[in-house]
Chain A
Amino acid sequence: GEDVEQSLFLSVREGDSSVINCTYTDSSSTYLYWYKQEPGAGLQLLTYIFSNMDMKQDQRLTVLLNKKDKHLSLRIADTQTGDSAIYFCAEKDSGYSTLTFGKGTMLLVSP
């Protein structure tokens, strides 16, 4: 079955860039997503990328997709303390309607 892997923890200083990485195994993934979960809250959709794209930029967020290596990354520029949260990578297989999530990366931003 599909598998999505993320590193568990990332710590950065305010103002630095953060890069959160994700790998997936399903070569028929069509969409890949990044969600953000703040403490006690639901999942907020940050951005997504279609599998035939290499890069997508949305304000401070840049998503890079390396389809050959099945590697997805989320770069947050000028990271702020309000960006501290858990970030989930998810993929959607072309044959299914559901999402497979990674276990999440906890981003801690220190002043």
Chain B
Amino acid sequence: DSGVTQTPKHLITATGQRVTLRCSPRSGDLSVYWYQQSLDQGLQFLIQYYNGEERAKGNILERFSAQQFPDLHSELNLSSLELGDSALYFCASSVQGGGETQYFGPGTRLLVL
């Protein structure tokens, strides 16, 4: 158990819908990272927050957004969902914002029908 929690574990929804994925980092970690894992693209970095502020942005679609709250938990919002958004979404956390050792949560499996 890495200490990073993610909810929900599974999510099934329809195209065009909007969902919110939630992540709580390890106690004491200030930085949260979101990754998408799909069969064709592998593990892709989406976005990073550090102490409430956006720190780095990767291959995140405009339909996706994220935020980190004062209690340091983070939410990833996915809207206007398409079939191709079906994937595993991982959250990771680290102590500081420099990307050093990242600990991953168990992931949220999203299926868009």
Contacts and interface: CB of A to CB of B under 8 A. Distances in A.
Do A and B associate with each other?
Answer: yes
B100 interface: yes
B100 A92 contact: yes
Contacts of A104: 42-43
Contacts of B101: 31, 33, 45, 48
Interface residues on B, range: 20 to 34
B43 to A, nearest CB: 4
B7 to A, nearest CB: 13
For the side of the interface on A, what is the size category? Answer: 20 to 34
Chain A, interface SS category: strand
Contact of B106 (A42, A45, A98, A100): A42
B105 A42 contact: yes
A64 B26 CA distance: 29
Contacts of A92: 99-100
B90 A97 contact: no
Contact of A98 (B4, B48, B105): B48
Given A98-B45, A101-B42, A101-B43, A42 B107 contact: yes
A100 B59 CA distance: 12
Interface string A6-44: 000000000000000000000000010101000001111
Nearest to B109: A40
A103 B42 contact: yes
Identify the interface centre among A35, A41, A96: most chain B CB within 10 Å of its CB: A96
Nearest to B45: A98
B103 interface: yes
A44 B104 contact: yes
A103 B40 CA distance: 9
28 contacts: A35-B104, A41-B106, A41-B107, A42-B2, A42-B104, A43-B43, A43-B90, A43-B92, A43-B104, A45-B101, A45-B102, A45-B103, A45-B104, A48-B101, A92-B99, A97-B31, A97-B56, A97-B98, A97-B99, A98-B33, A98-B45, A98-B58, A98-B99, A99-B33, A99-B102, A101-B43, A103-B42, A104-B42
Interface of B: 2, 4, 31, 33, 42-43, 45, 48, 50, 55-56, 58, 90, 92, 97-107
